[in-house]
Structure 1
Amino acid sequence: PRCGVPDVAQFVLTEGNPRWEQTHLTYRIENYTPDLPRADVDHAIEKAFQLWSNVTPLTFTKVSEGQA
């Protein structure tokens, strides 16, 4: 149990070393907070994704419409 709450179901660990083959990821922000300027939110997200890109084979691209 976590935090005194029992797990709701059994879980299964995948055998071997499964990998997600996709390395180029897209993202889209659907709802911005009204508490911060959109540019600040965009900059913070871009900075975070850049940190991930620096240490992994992942790349991130923001899309403005469609499925991300």
Structure 2
Amino acid sequence: MVANAWDAGATQVKILIPEDYHKKLIASDNGSGLSKDQFEQRSMKLDYNRLKHQGKNVLFCQG
């Protein structure tokens, strides 16, 4: 999650880890975000290779 925020140009990342086991872990950042297609391609993939799919340099969208 933090690597994704970094790749999106985030300068702030917040991670809320709940005390109760059955509550949701929440991560938020101020990065440029993902489109629906990008989210579906990248989320929940432990082996997503940003360099392979996006290249060495990342362009941040202002939005």
Give the TM-score of the pair, scaled to structure 1.
0.21
Higher Rg of the two aligned structures: 1
Kindly indicate whether structure 1 or structure 2 has the higher relative contact order, using CA contacts under 8 Å at least 6 residues apart.
Answer: 1
Give the TM-score of the pair, scaled to structure 2.
0.23
